Amino acid sequence: MQEFGVCELSMVPVRKQPSETSEMVNQLLFGDLIKVDDSQNNWLLVRTDHDDYEGWVDKNMITKINKTEFKRIANGKPFFVIEASAKASIKNGTTVNIPMGGRLTDINDGNFLLSRNRYSIDNNLFTQSDKISLTDLAMKYLGSPYMWGGRSPFGVDCSGLVQIIFKMININLKRDANQQAEQGINIDFVNESREGDLAFFDNSEGKIIHVGIILGNNRILHASGTVRIDKLDHQGIFNDNQNKYTHNLRIIKRILS
């Protein structure tokens, strides 16, 4: 029988193997829904509902929920935290710091339900998915440190950055850059691109290894060392600080209609 769960902590590491010493390949944020595919000792093999990405999590970091609650959250009206961190509290005095991108469902006057808990949060710290622009969201991540597998402003990788920003405007992308490159429609030339398009970059073997969000004026926002803005042209990303091209352009995709 299929089991379901929700992330009720700030952030939860998703690992490649069922071990604390295994690399983190993904990260759950508050409000993320998961399906449980297998278990091993204290570990659960889970798939995130929004992208079917699989990995192992410590079972003590997941709140188990039934199918009815899973559907309520999945089909509810989404709101997202839009500050680096927002404190939410429940009646017993417990608080949780929800990172930017944390999903709040069916919120009403700063109150929302998750699992068995009723949370309260300041109305100025979240918004509906259609009330803020992609570019405004992207700029909020500037300066965030790069972290493999990360999806928060406290540590994020290139595809995690793109995925969470699009998720906050209610568009679900796949987790990895090579998967995201299969979505959307092709744009043939950089000068035909527009703000919000995605640029993908490959290595010497032709494998797509990097992604960023195109801004206006031949600029791109991407996670490389930190979340930064660099120049973009038909060859790739040019880093002024290093005075060289750092990424080779492979393809441009349009996700937004």
Catalytic residues: 158, 210, 222
**Residue with token string 């801004």:** 215
- Mapping DSSP to helix (H, G, I), strand (E, B) and coil, where does residue 61 land? helix
The DSSP code for 94 is -
The full DSSP string for 97-131 is EEETT-EEES-BTTEEEETTEEEEE-GGGEEETTS
Beta bridge partners of 39: 44
* CB-CB contact of 207 with 197 (8 Å): no
CA distance 136 to 42: 40
> How many Å apart are CA 127 and CA 104, to the nearest integer?
9
The residue among 195, 210, 197, 194 whose CA lies nearest residue 247 is 210
Cβ atoms within 10 Å of 110's Cβ, excluding its own: 15
Distances (CA, A) of 177 to 46, 85, 199, 253: 20, 26, 10, 12
